[in-house]
Structure 1
């Protein structure tokens, strides 16, 4: 058993009050809070090591480079990549997905097909729409049923020699549904030679990730959802895939030689890391991985799943409350509405007056909301520092909102 109070003591921000009430932070799918150990590493970089990396022979530059490359190796181990140079530092999941969609431009042509799903965040929809506009390719979408579960029979129908990309999330940010990516990848490998892209923004904070076992071509996630600073993220790509594709940004760091007659590109990972990186943030990402490792990913997953089960059971006892994806395999998120009480933001504002932070609206997943014929939901999402007592506060807050809005 882990000591929840000891864990909470590592998050100074949780000690404050909001609107005169103890903060109950249940918006972790949007961003997690940061433990003191991560903030201390970030501060230490700027107070003791601040220098640009890979470019200087002086001591601070060498030390900063060592720390950032150590962080890259921590990420490599965290996702079980074969090589550390398959780990590319980005600003987050959105940049990673846009990077992939851009560098694949030359690999697609008119009437090729890209497969995504109804459960995607806008950042795993719009970049592919832009790629279709550039190339004439077509977008195909795996539908969902009334429980939010992907209908993979359609994937079987869609896969063909025209399929060039299959891009899906491992966990839905809006509903918390865990998608069967192992089955999706196996079907794709069997029936096409498409690039396989996995959006791990909502899975990396909760699951053990093994990209080699997964056999995806790309895996992307954000640091800020897993206890690291904002502006950090990772793009994993298989060595042979990244070496075959063109750069994303041009500039410093990503060149081998540069002249007015032409430029040659650096090897991995620097080919995809043009310009000065977020050195302090990238080092702090390594500290966040250390934090997760000390607790253990299995412990984190078990605790968050227990919170989800408890929250759903308690919430469903409230009359006229609907949980979306109730019967699906989910993790870390309960997304719901009070039927007959107006829009989700009304509930969110009442909860905020009670110090309870949740997310309301469409969660950058408007197709999901359109499917359920709603404008948005109230979303409570959990992290390792959340408690069952906080769930009780949420439930009481929802009951109060129902009384006020009915």
Structure 2
């Protein structure tokens, strides 16, 4: 694959793309900043910043409840954002798209919406691979409803144990929730295959966590009843997200929240809820966030998805090859196809110490359990270093990152060999 990617002319140039991100032009400790923490948040394109400023300088007014020019402009921008994002997801109807505060908020809302359907003894299915945001809400819901939380294990290679998935699916399964793409190992789940099996064997509602998938796997909504993601993963503002509901889910689910904007009429004893998306969006929405998300989607639409994905795959392939040459490094899900990120541990130093040292040389990566402790426990570790890429990362950055990782590990090996007195010696400058 590496040879093919080297020779293929995709027409995509990461170096040119970087000019659209002012934050990436800076240096730290007199060395270029290498930002490889994109799974946590993607940097915001300058075009999105300009659109946000334009909104606040020209258009800002509350949506839906005003006929003056500023309210009208903001309402139009907000609803246009809904239409644009729904179209990119392939939703049948723009009213299926609900704006939320992010992935975590969306999943918690779905838990509240689906709680009335659960009876004692029913089952909620999740996987060991999940981010805590797609694990803890279901754990709480299972306890409150006296349902059973069924957790599908992963294999030693980091992939989901599909045999266990098939075996544990039953008529008692009422909700199945799983991630599209691991935020730790970059391993993809066969979402369409899993959804098809669920549809053919149960009437369970399906939630797919697309927080990572939306960035690296295209905008198409998989076959599910609830699809959610966060805007900041695409370079939009924080505090904005999307919950795209199937027509089936919208018909049977009542809102998780009630308040202004969700009703046609209210009496002292009754209320008549609105149809469509508005019934699920209580209170003043984050309209500036929605505008920023629409702008981010339009920005990324300029770049061919296949070329971008091949570029990111090439970056991770080269990095994995480099890390495989370091004896003390263990790559999680080694040899598996990775999308978006790669994580590793070292026998000579913990993830926190490694990342602290990396930061001295401008390498921004993440350490910890990555809000996925059941997954890391299954892989036999407590924390790991995660390197996550974006379209604007370059091969030169990956090569420099590999050099910093290699020399940092050599530094810690020297400490182990010669004792802690080595730790106090002067820092070495890595070559630019």
Pairing 1:401–2:401 present: no
Q: Give the drift of 1:198.
A: 0.4
Partner of 2:429: none
Find the counterpart in structure 2 of residue 315 from structure 1: 323
1:237 to 239, 245, 254: 245
- Please say if residues 227 and 245 of structure 2, whose CA atoms lie closer than 8 Å, have aligned partners that are also in contact: yes
**Rg: which structure is higher?**
2
Alignment of 1:49-128 (within 5 A): 49-128=59-138
Task: Quote how far apart the aligned CAs of 1:256 are.
Answer: 1.6
Report the 3-state secondary structure (helix = DSSP H, G, I; strand = E; otherwise coil) of the residue aligned with 1:177. coil
- CA deviations over 1:284-331 (Å, ceiling 9, x no partner): 100100111001222221111111111111111112211101122320
Paired residues for 1:21-60 under 5 Å? 21-60=31-70
Shift of 1:372: 2.1
Partner of 1:375: 382
Distance apart, 1:2 and its partner CA: 2.1
CA distance in 1, matches of 2:189, 2:38: 19
Map 1:2-401 to 2 at 5 A: 2-211=12-221, 214-339=222-347, 341-401=348-408
Shift of 1:390: 0.6
Q: What is the CA distance between 1:61 and its match in structure 2?
A: 0.6
Query: Separation in 2 of the partners of 1:255 and 1:372?
Result: 48
Aligned partners of 1:243 and 1:268 also within 8 Å = no
Question: Contact 2:45–2:235 (CA<8 Å) still a contact in 1?
Answer: yes
Q: Larger deviation: 33-42 or 256-265?
A: 256-265
Whole-angstrom CA distance in 1 between matches of 2:134 and 2:269: 37
Question: What is the TM-score of this pair, normalised by structure 1?
Answer: 0.97
Query: How far apart are the structure 2 equivalents of 1:388 and 1:105?
Result: 47
What RMSD in Å do the two structures reach over aligned CA positions?
Answer: 1.0
Q: Quick check: 2:179–2:210 contact (8 Å CA) kept in 1?
A: yes
Residues 194-203 or 13-22, more deviating: 13-22
Task: Please give the secondary structure, in 1, of the residue aligned with 2:315.
Answer: helix
1:87-135 CA distances to partner (integer Å, 9 max, x unpaired)?
0001111011111111101000101001111100000001101111221
What are the Cα deviations for residues 305-362 of structure 1, in whole angstroms up to 9, with x where unaligned? 11111111111111221110112232011100112x2310111011100001001000
Residue segments in structure 2 that go unaligned for 5+ positions in a row: 1-10, 414-432
CA contact 1:333–1:379 (8 Å) conserved in 2: yes
Structure 1 runs of 4+ aligned residues shifted over 4 Å read none
How many pairs were matched up?
Answer: 403
Residues 64 and 75 of structure 2 are in contact (CA less than 8 Å); yes or no, is this contact kept in structure 1?
Answer: yes
The alpha-carbon deviation at position 404 of structure 1 amounts to 2.0
Structure 2: how far apart are the matches of 1:198 and 1:246? 19
Per-residue deviation, 1:371 = 1.4
